[in-house]
Structure 1
Amino acid sequence: MNPHPAARAEIVVDLDAVRHNVRRLREVAGVPTMTVVKADGYGHGMVEVARAAREAGAEWLGVATLDEAVALRAAGDRGRLLCWLAVPGEDFAAAIAADVDVTASSVAQLEEIAATGAAARVQLKVDTGLSRNGAPLDTWPEVVAAARAGEEVGRWRVTGIWSHFACSDEPDHPANDAQEAAFRHALDVADRAGLRPEVRHLSNSAGALLRPSSRFDLVRFGLASYGLDPAPGHTPDLDLIPAMTVRASLAMVKSIPAGAGVSYGHTWVADTATTLGLVPAGYGDGIPRHASNTAHVLVGGKRRALRGRVCMDQFVVDLDGDLPERGEDVVLFGPGTRGEPTAQDWAEAADTISYEIVTRIGGRMARRYVGR
């Protein structure tokens, strides 16, 4: 029977696993590390993961938005903290007042930071080839000059220069060499302008693990902090522990005859008589509909295939004639140590990446922590 019968469906986060992963990654990196806790800690809980990461020695935390940064400060975090995504008109003042390092990717953003009237800690982001956020290389000298001018009159201190890889999970991709070369060029431009940042950082999890030359003064560990592989097929065994388990209570068990169709559209039809289990979670809880008829769960010590389309609130699994009791534990994914599927298994079933699987899961699910 289900050891937690009150939970319809829940996310269980092992904070000891997070601490273990952060410590292990710091050992491997050999330079200071940033644990990235944006998007509610990749679905694991931003505040709780941030505390665990700090306890494990993470020198920096990273978030995307100003709101996330301010929320972390309100929850009691006091270490170095970087945020990097803002739209025109957003107020930098609260983050600056909370001692957050903010990012500028243009002269216009520097002007918005200056408009707060507060002395800020600013990091400059350069686009080295991801073609996303960051100053394009052709405008980089202008951004650097404006940053240096503001530094000279006390508007801010430039604490970092950084960029982000596009293809670090493909270690042989030529973009990696090109981006690292572009980043080194950008650092030279900044140095000639008189900027002396505390930290220079380029690598995310895959880059930090697979490309030692790109570690510079700081590396940003996102996915790997949660125990998931940032570059499947390439990452060495680092003894990382997946921190998230998603489980539910079996809502119903029923028998169906051969020829019975299952779920919307009858995309699966039983070729023999079988038994089905109803799992009370669906795409409204972040279960990917693209995993219909392809993913598996663990029930009664056996992997069971999803049958038919995932619905908003529920999905159906094939119990192959077995008749477990209502309330039986269903493990959707976890570390894989008990034979259950992993987040990577679900990613492959849904033709996506494990980042999306863990980040989107939740909806109406409760979240429970162990290893506090």
Structure 2
Amino acid sequence: MPDEPAQRAYDPRVHPAYARIDLAAIRHNVGVLRGLAGSAALMAVVKADAYGHGLVPGARAAVAGGADWLGTAQLGEALELRAAGLDVPLLSWLHAPGADYVPAVQADVDLGVSAPWALAEVLRAVEVTGRPARVHLKVDTGLARNGAYALGAGRTDYADLVERARAAEAEGALRVVGVFTHFAYADAPDHPTVRAQQEAFADAVALAERAGLRPDVRHMSNSAATLTTPEAAWDMVRPGLAVYGLSPVPDLGSSADYGLVPAMTAVARVATVKRVPAGQGVSYGHTFTTRRPTTLADVPVGYADGVPRHASNTGEVLLGGHRRPVAGRVCMDQIVVDAGDLPVACGDEVVLFGPGTDGEPTAEDWAQASGTISYEIVSRYGPRMPRVYTGGDEA
């Protein structure tokens, strides 16, 4: 097997905190999603370091759980997967002008193409390698983000892209393997844009087919659509967040409601314990003041590690079997927890979030406390938090 990127090993003598990743949970979640996908293939999206869970271990666990494809946003992610020996179909779709497509074409990485300039750059890589590229045409059906625009009267950007891609395919320079788009409101399945985008995508597929393209996979469903809009599955679904056990539609159902198991648990240890009187201001700016005598526990993990600063005075952790609040502002390297009258000692374990099965807060709880979404909570935990893998040998 090719050399793999080194994983940062957790050493409690060096690291005061770590993220525990349950690979069995990832395998389980992919199995659940495969059942929901019906006859459609399943692409496990592992972009952004597998949503913070570790790119290569997360991808291996997803494939072991039954994923047919892997998906990344950036070329570097895709090439890292290939270097690690993952040889399943693999799509990378978000690129800026000047990207080097040569290694990707050589490594049989499928490329998302959303504009004529991107197609031209892919074709230059084809000239260098002497190998045809595999591309998926990205169509904007209403998100107004990445993708060739396909709405409005007259000739569209997408129609131009289709024509150019068909000409290149006729010359043997590439194969249009897929056509794809992305929902704007998949987390609100009754929103009128959900139906409108399905109709716009059907029109885009029909236009490509009239031009003579015969894509193998037509795909538009993310995690939310995979769970709530089965009619949008087409030939493949692309779940991301749900692969890691988090609900993309918390207003409609929790992870447990959908049979998903959160895979990440963030753990730290208490560094300092002190008993303080009522009236003691805590952390920068004294935005929290104790109302009675209490025990404060300093925990050496902060916003440089991924703890959202917006959770100041609102987030909770599990300490000594009890949920206790973050007292005062989240700092760069530490938080303070109001432990009340709990018996707390230096070195005690603090669980910031996890599956919730032992009473600990979940990533969704932290999202609510921070005014954000669980996607951000798990993906923001950075390299100062080593990953510890359980539940399999994919690491």
TM-based fold match above 0.5: yes
Quick one: which of 168, 171, 177 aligns to 2:186? 168
What secondary structure, in the 3-state scheme, does the structure 1 residue paired with 2:43 have?
strand
Per the TM alignment, residue 234 of structure 1 is displaced from its structure 2 partner at its CA by 1.5
Determine the C-alpha separation between the residues in 2 that align with 1:64 and 1:258.
51
Determine the C-alpha separation between the residues in 2 that align with 1:361 and 1:178.
36
Determine the C-alpha separation between the residues in 1 that align with 2:222 and 2:250.
15
1:89-104 matched pairs, under 5 angstroms = 89-104=98-113
What secondary structure, in the 3-state scheme, does the structure 2 residue paired with 1:102 have?
strand
Determine the C-alpha separation between the residues in 2 that align with 1:188 and 1:178.
15
Residue in structure 2 matched with residue 20 of structure 1 by the alignment? 28
Identity of aligned residues (%): 55
Determine the C-alpha separation between the residues in 2 that align with 1:165 and 1:234.
17
**TM-score of the two chains, using structure 1 as the length reference:** 0.97
Contact persistence 1:210–1:235 (CA under 8 A):
no
Counterpart code for 2:260: L
Counterpart code for 1:219: V
Per the TM alignment, residue 367 of structure 1 is displaced from its structure 2 partner at its CA by 1.1
Contact persistence 1:280–1:315 (CA under 8 A):
yes
Contact persistence 2:36–2:230 (CA under 8 A):
no
Extract structure 1 runs of 4+ deviating beyond 4 A.
Answer: 4-7
Query: Higher mean Cα deviation, 331-340 or 167-176?
Result: 167-176
Question: Any idea what the Cα deviations from partners look like across 1:287-310, whole Å, max 9, x if unmatched?
Answer: 100000001000010000000000
Quick one: which of 321, 346, 353 aligns to 1:301? 321
User: Tell me, which stretches of 5 or more residues in structure 1 are unaligned?
Assistant: none
Contact persistence 2:33–2:226 (CA under 8 A):
no
Counterpart code for 2:86: D
Question: Any idea what the Cα deviations from partners look like across 1:76-95, whole Å, max 9, x if unmatched?
Answer: 11010000011111111101
Query: Higher mean Cα deviation, 11-20 or 101-110?
Result: 101-110
Per the TM alignment, residue 356 of structure 1 is displaced from its structure 2 partner at its CA by 0.2
1:78-97 matched pairs, under 5 angstroms = 78-97=87-106
Residue in structure 2 matched with residue 52 of structure 1 by the alignment? 61
User: Tell me, which stretches of 5 or more residues in structure 2 are unaligned?
Assistant: 1-10, 151-155
Residue in structure 2 matched with residue 335 of structure 1 by the alignment? 355
Contact persistence 2:166–2:211 (CA under 8 A):
yes
Per the TM alignment, residue 5 of structure 1 is displaced from its structure 2 partner at its CA by 5.4
Residue in structure 1 matched with residue 3 of structure 2 by the alignment? none
**TM-score of the two chains, using structure 2 as the length reference:** 0.92
The answer on 1:361 being equivalent to 2:369 is: no
Contact persistence 2:295–2:341 (CA under 8 A):
yes
Contact persistence 1:15–1:370 (CA under 8 A):
yes
Determine the C-alpha separation between the residues in 1 that align with 2:236 and 2:338.
48
Kindly tell me the number of residue pairs found equivalent between the two proteins: 369
1:146-165 matched pairs, under 5 angstroms = 146-165=164-183
Per the TM alignment, residue 363 of structure 1 is displaced from its structure 2 partner at its CA by 3.9
Contact persistence 2:74–2:95 (CA under 8 A):
yes
Residue in structure 2 matched with residue 33 of structure 1 by the alignment? 42
Per the TM alignment, residue 218 of structure 1 is displaced from its structure 2 partner at its CA by 0.1
What secondary structure, in the 3-state scheme, does the structure 1 residue paired with 2:218 have?
strand
Quick one: which of 115, 134, 137 aligns to 1:121? 134
Query: Higher mean Cα deviation, 336-345 or 47-56?
Result: 47-56
Counterpart code for 2:345: E
Determine the C-alpha separation between the residues in 2 that align with 1:49 and 1:261.
42
Contact persistence 1:267–1:309 (CA under 8 A):
yes
Quick one: which of 329, 334, 345 aligns to 1:325? 345
Contact persistence 1:306–1:318 (CA under 8 A):
yes
1:194-213 matched pairs, under 5 angstroms = 194-213=212-231
Determine the C-alpha separation between the residues in 2 that align with 1:331 and 1:232.
22
Contact persistence 1:253–1:323 (CA under 8 A):
no
Residue in structure 2 matched with residue 134 of structure 1 by the alignment? 147
